[in-house]
Amino acid sequence: MHDETTAIHGGYQGDSTRAVAVPIYQTVAHDFIDADHAAALFDLELPGFHYNRINNPTNDVLERRMAALEGGRAALAVASGAAAVSYSVLTVASPGSNLVIAPQLYGATFTYFVHVLPTYGIEPRLAVDDRAESLARLIDDRTCAVFCESVGNPAGNVVDLEAVARVAHRNGVPLIVDNTVATPFMLKPISHGADVVVHSLTKFVGGHGTTLGGVLVDSGEFPWSAHPDRFPQFNQPEPAFHDVVFARDFPERAFAVRARSVMLRNTGATLAPMNAFLLLQGLESLAARLERHERNARAVARFLDADPRVAWVSFAGFSDHPYYELAQRYLKGRVPSIVTFGVAGGYEAGLSLFNSLELFKRLVNLGDAKSLVAHPASTTHRQLRPAELAAAGILPETIRLSIGLEHPDDLCADLDQALARVTET
């Protein structure tokens, strides 16, 4: 099926009630037929549901749907995008390993990698930029994965995924890609060599700023069994789960099964079934919303680019953007609805513009039906030092707009009055 159809029908064949909408299975647990049935479920010998910290029928539809959209073999839905990022790394890492990272990252992801992973004995290695050769220089025999955002938030860079995947695979490590900004409607990282794809479903998939959620999608392609020394957790009996050997017993979805049975089962970042239901509702309209998001973003970017009060605009839809060619190649002419820009005056000017907007909502989210504005240097990335901000593609005056579904003339009018206030001061 085409993506637009999969987003509405994928992963759901109906149940005994013949409900058209996916039901909300608001239950903690499921009844076993007998002891043998319980044992088979716990040993993963039978598919099914037993305790809803681990899996749930509503969540299962969301997982199947996201896996189908991304072209993966299996998926795991979790409580937030941050949980998805965390589980994507902890599923493959162990104390003493390192993670090689493209530096253009969402602020919370940067904080987790740089300040939290070291407390687990995992070394974060930030490359100087997102080029494959820069990442390759940091990979060694203790590297557990390469991580990047397909489209950086808020930098707007577009990673050459095929080149990065070649570097990672040549060195025997998986490529993990956060595809939140692009969504599978614009870019499918697995088709370009990614091994694991993560999303904050809170953003474009939910689309209304009401529901937290995250997902990990397993391509099923990484050869874990070919690297027993680097990934013993996939190739040796798992004491935390009945001595299963993930690479041997689940060769086509080893990552997803380990993430669920070790990480989710034991740390519990479970997505509530009501949230899964709401995210499925958002997913059904994602294709239509993205078209309006993009059309509005192009109009706002053109307005800002033509305004002499604006010092610079970064938008991947402009032919002079440094990532324009990669955007054309990977996004097939489309562009996410993220626009960043700045006015002269540095940090204080950025704050002034941020404070002067009236229609745009000042908050740290994106992908909402409402248009949103953030000043990264004072919010999502305020903990970064100047050099780290520069590496992440953020200037002191940077304003990030997430363009929503309002009429573009109203959005431009709000920007016009805010620019007038900044110019006056």
Put simply, whether the predicted model's pTM sits higher than 0.75 gets the answer yes
Indicate the average pLDDT of the chain. 94
Give the Å distances, CA to CA, from 186 to 150, 164, 336: 11, 19, 8
Q: Structure tokens of 235?
A: 């190739």
Enumerate the domain spans of the chain: 3-281, 285-424
Same fold, 3-281 and 285-424: no
Per-residue model confidence (pLDDT) at position 240: 83
Give the dihedral of Cα atoms 220, 222, 224, 226; nearest 10 deg: 130
| Residue 341 confidence (pLDDT) above 70 | yes
pLDDT in tens, 391-425: 667 788 889 999 999 999 999 999 999 999 998 87
The CA distance from 400 to 273, in Å, is 32
pLDDT, tens digit (0-9, with 9 covering 90-100), for 128-175: 999 999 999 999 999 999 999 999 988 889 999 999 999 999 999 999
Nearest residue to 54 via CA among 84, 85, 81, 29: 29
Q: Are 173 and 144 in contact (CB under 8 A)?
A: yes
Each residue's pLDDT tens digit, 202-258: 999 999 999 999 999 999 999 999 999 999 999 999 988 888 999 999 999 999 999
- Measure the N-to-C terminal CA separation of the chain; round to a whole number of Å: 55
How many Å apart are CA 340 and CA 315, to the nearest integer? 7
Summarize pLDDT for 279-303 with one digit per residue, the tens: 999 999 999 999 999 999 999 999 9
Residue 268 has pLDDT above 70, yes or no: yes
Peptide bond into 237 cis (omega under 30): no
Phi, psi of 373 (to 5 degrees): -135, 140
Average pLDDT over residues 301-327: 95
Query: Does the domain spanning 3-281 belong to CATH 3.40.640.10?
Result: yes
- Domain 285-424, CATH: 3.90.1150.10
Report the alpha-carbon distance of residue 305 to residue 291 in Å, rounded: 21
Sign of the alpha-carbon dihedral angle for 247, 250, 251, 254: negative
Burial of residue 339 (CB within 10 Å: 0-12, 13-18, 19+) is buried
